[in-house]
Structure 1
Amino acid sequence: MKRDSKVLPVVGWRELVHLPELGLHGVPAKIDTGARTSSLHGTVIDTFKRDGQNYVRFAVDFPQHNVRQVCEAVHIDWRGITSSNGETQRRMIIKTPLQIGDVTFRAEISLADRSDMKFPMLIGRSSLRRRFVVDSGHSWLQTEGMTPVEGHKT
């Protein structure tokens, strides 16, 4: 087995992440190597075409702050995603830049109803692979100089 000699940054089991093209910054996210696809709490408002590409307009709610952020992203696919309870749901997939610490990359993210979840975003192993090492015993390792969103229970 060949090992990459590159030293990868370490993330904890929860991190604050940024989705700059969506205008979302400091989003609390759970790092979940058991999940393949990353997901974001989003309510689909509309789908439309722009310059021949399919787009989706959706809302991301932060109820603890009474904030609703309306976002637009390229809609790239529909996929069957199996949730932690074993149910498969057909979810809309977007692709947008995701920043964790100093690392920014384009990530595929499913839009899901995560209103019953503790974290509005989940980072799956496809986004982590070849970019990060996970230390499940620590939190906020890539959020230097930042604190978790005030009022967010961890």
Structure 2
Amino acid sequence: MARRAEMLQVGWRELVDLPELGLAGIPAKIDTGARTSSLHAHEVEDFQRDGERFVRFAVDWGGTRHFCEAIHVDVRGITSSNGDRQTRFVIKTPLRIGNLTFRAEISLADRSQMQFPMLIGRTALRRRMVVDSGYSWLQSPGNADMGPGRR
């Protein structure tokens, strides 16, 4: 287990990459109140390839629709921020924040009404990062122009 002084320090929002999905620079809210990370996805469908379960989905990013495929890990009941219980597909894929890359479980959800297309939950943060909620973009250099200052 990493000591706190050795953990990556992140702000309450960061730009993240999902390299195996071909997605980079995704604005993500860091949310210690949420257990599971989630990504805005639509046109979600599961299928089989060579006896293995996959999920195919679309992500609209940078004015372009990206079609992604990932190994389907699970289908779970997840309680959304408004208290509704939803059934969601869960994938496991590498997630990069700053210079740290690790495999994370991510639920696929309709986040069209949310400010951020991605949310990083506490399971992904655990023993890897500490959150300084007074700052933004600490691991996203050059992105202070993405909002009102770095706070």
Normalising by structure 1, what TM-score? 0.88
- Aligned 8 A contact 1:32 1:123 in 2: yes
Q: CA deviation at 1:66?
A: 2.6
- Contact 1:12 1:136 (8 Å CA) reproduced: yes
Task: Give the match for residue 43 of structure 1.
Answer: 42
Distance in 2 (CA, whole Å) between partners of 1:126 and 1:135 is 17
Which of residues 75, 78, 87 is equivalent to 1:78? 75
Q: State the 1:46 CA deviation.
A: 2.9
* CA deviation after TM superposition for structure 1 residue 114, in Å: 0.2
Q: Could you tell me how far apart the structure 2 residues matched to 1:18 and 1:73 are?
A: 15
Q: Shift of residue 34 of structure 1? A: 0.0
- Quickly say closer, same or farther: Cα 1:67–1:10, change in 2 above 3 A: same
Task: Give the aligned length.
Answer: 147
Matched, 1:136 2:128: no
Question: Which amino acid in 2 is paired with 1:99?
Answer: R
2:122 match: 125
1:60 is aligned to 59
Shift of 1:146: 4.8
Unaligned 5+ runs, structure 2? none
Equivalent residue number for residue 69 of structure 1:
66
Q: What is the CA distance between 1:135 and its match in structure 2?
A: 0.3
1:112 maps to amino acid: A
1:9 Cα deviation after fit: 1.1
State the SS of the aligned residue for 2:6: coil
- For the structure 1 residues 3 and 24, does the alpha-carbon distance in structure 2 shift closer, same or farther, using more than 3 Å as the test? closer
2:31 maps to what in 1? 32
User: C-alpha offsets along residues 69-115 of structure 1, whole Å, 9 cap, x if unaligned?
Assistant: 11000111011100111111011100100000011000000000000
- Structure 1 segments unaligned to the other structure (5+ residues): none
Q: Quick one: percent identity of the two aligned structures? A: 65
Distance 1:116 1:148, change over 3 A: farther
Q: Superposed, which structure 2 residues align to 1:96-111 within 5 Å?
A: 96-111=93-108
1:60·1:69 contact (CA, 8 Å) conserved in 2?
yes
Question: Aligned partners of 1:127, 1:78: CA distance in 2, in Å?
Answer: 18
Give the whole-Å Cα distance in 1 for the aligned partners of 2:22 and 2:137.
21
Cα distance between partner residues in 1 of 2:18 and 2:34: 19
Q: 1-side partners of 2:17 and 2:5: how far apart?
A: 24
**What CA distance in whole angstroms lies between the structure 2 residues aligned with 1:29 and 1:74?**
22
Is 25-34 or 137-146 further displaced after alignment? 137-146
> TM-score, normalized by length of structure 2?
0.90
The CA distance in 1 between the partners of 2:138 and 2:16, in whole Å, is 11
Given residue 52 of structure 2, which amino acid in structure 1 is its aligned partner? Q
